[in-house]
Chains A and B, each alone.
Chain A
Amino acid sequence: MNARFFRGGALAVFMSLACAMTPANAHKLRETGQTFVVADSDVTVTPSRDWNRLNGKVGKRTETWTLDGEQLNDITFFGGIRAGDPLVKERSKKHEPLPKFTSSTLLVEVPELLEGTYRTYKELAAFRLLSVEPGSFLGSEGVYFTYEFTDVDQLTRKGEARAAIIEGRLYMVTFDAPRLHYFDRTVADFRTLVDTAKLR
């Protein structure tokens, strides 16, 4: 009787804890017009439409926003990757190391760094850089680039990214979406959002 009570009690405590924890852990709405700090960094953005901030992180100093789920549209902010760090968390530092951002990485090599990270992490070969152009990002000189890749789900996705190296740290925003329909539908919203990015 006591044991059963204890088990029931434990379950109740667990359930109430789970309920209490849910709001803190859940994905967050990023409402229009408000300014938000992203990726635990000093970068802020002011969305002109509502976005969802996903709870999961792909790496240190990253944050992911989406509209319909990360498979369909995925904006990832990289808020100041330090020299010696990979872009996303490594599955195994020893066995499957990822390419690292280094203090000697040139701006023109940033697209290659993202390419190498995607290829290594996803073990894919079908990745193509489409364009690499100079541009301005976070008030500094940066690089704008576009790419295309086919993931293991055999869906071809397009991507667009902007990056800058400021005081030895890499700041970057990427937008990935399926080439069919989703990319073209949301890319304008992505550009509007990235145009509002500022360093505090």
Chain B
Amino acid sequence: MSRISWLTAICATIFASTTPLNAEPAPAPPPFAGFYQPQGVDEIGWWREDDESERRLAASPLVIRDEKLSGYLKEVLCRAVGDDRCNATRIYVMREPTFNATMSFNGTMRVFSGLLLRMRNEAELAAVLGHEFGHFESRHGLNRFKAARTGTDVLAWGALLASMGPSYDTRRTYQSMEISVYGNLYRYGRDHEREADLLGLGYLNKSSLAPQAASHVWQNLMGEIEASAVAKGLKKPKFNAIAFTASHPPHGERAAYLTALASPDSSTRDYGAQRYGETLAEWLPTFLDDQIKLNDFGGSEYIIANLAKDGWTATLWNARGELYRTRGNQRDLVHAVQFYSNAIALDDSLAIAHRGLGLSLFKTGERTRGQQALARYLELAPDSDDAKMIQMMLPQETPL
């Protein structure tokens, strides 16, 4: 073989090792190994730490204690990864407004409420839960810990040896090694994410849900990030650039390979949008409120519009009204009045919409109409937290 073809072969090998996913649909997951117990001193130690952390988590004020909701999440996980596998984990829903879910060594899965707000159907949720389960099944946490320990050991010894020969060359070599080791550790982490994506899609391809949803999750997230950046007047984010310290592959790459990994003949499968919507209905106003109050106008607007693709509801119109009233420019208030009115047209008993409508009208100078709306709010919610305050606004403004 010529030198060039050798080089090509080496490059191909390197490329293949950094991008383990090809364009084929994800293969079925390996047979389930059964009930797993930690092996070796590292893993036993980590599981012990995690057990302690899980005990604290179970008593945390941030955990949403709703049996119906956590039961449903467990059901979705079981539907995604299979009944034999899903019993190895416990799911905790955290009241955190950001997009995230984590999996720890011993099978404790934390799902943030911000993630639940962004999912539009059961298949999307199943894709994220399956990905997290993939981390657990492949023991990624432990492998990463071991890699980090080995890497930092190498650096510590390297520093010691480098200090024995204090020349510019030694210093430079050590610095190169430092960059190389850290770069490899981050890349190793990203490869774990790719592997978990592959496994996650493997589960989904085998399940009764549509695996195409996995890619939708990332497409929506990119849409949200871009909308948020545009509203803040920032540059359009690059979705394919990998930062040196990036913990995950870029969203663009993930969206692309997740589409390729989804088995094409399963696109007609159920997405479970109705089941998801019904279960989340009770929590949706709370999660929307949590998002709106984060002061991310573009992101929130995108999320609301995305949820409204299946039809606008009074809750969604009201949320949009709240979003515009919170930003509070005069032009926003005019829109807010419209959105609250739309919400009231769909559901006149939605007290919070009457409140928002009344306050927005007040601020746009339409006091009489504002008072009427606030009076209706008090009629619907006489015991609300701010009833006395609103009550006081009415007689004061009436003579005007």
Contact = CB atoms under 8 A, between A and B. Distances in A.
Interface of A: 94-95, 97-99, 102, 104-109, 111-112, 115-116, 119-120, 123-127, 129-134, 143, 150, 154, 156
B295 interface: yes
B233 interface: yes
A156 B59 CA distance: 12
B215 interface: no
B400 interface: no
Interface residues of B, number: 30
A119 B293 contact: yes
Interface stretch (B163-171, B306-314, B383-391): B383-391
A102 B295 CA distance: 15
Contact of B389 (A119, A143, A150): A143
B234 A94 contact: yes
Dominant secondary structure at the A interface: mixed
Nearest to B362: A106
Nearest to B392: A134
Among A107, A112, A116, A125, chain B packs the most CB atoms within 10 A around the CB of A125
A109 B295 contact: no
B295 A116 contact: yes
Contacts of B234: 94-95
Nearest to B98: A123
Nearest to B228: A95
B116 to A, nearest CB: 11
Interface in B48-102: 60-62, 95-98
B232 A94 contact: yes
A125 B295 contact: no
Given A106-B359, A131-B385, 4 more contacts: A94-B233, A116-B293, A124-B96, A143-B389
B247 interface: no
B45 interface: no
B389 A107 contact: yes
Given A97-B232, A120-B293, A131-B385, A156 B61 contact: yes
A131 to B, nearest CB: 5
A89 to B, nearest CB: 15
Nearest to B112: A125
A133 B369 CA distance: 23
A94 B230 CA distance: 11
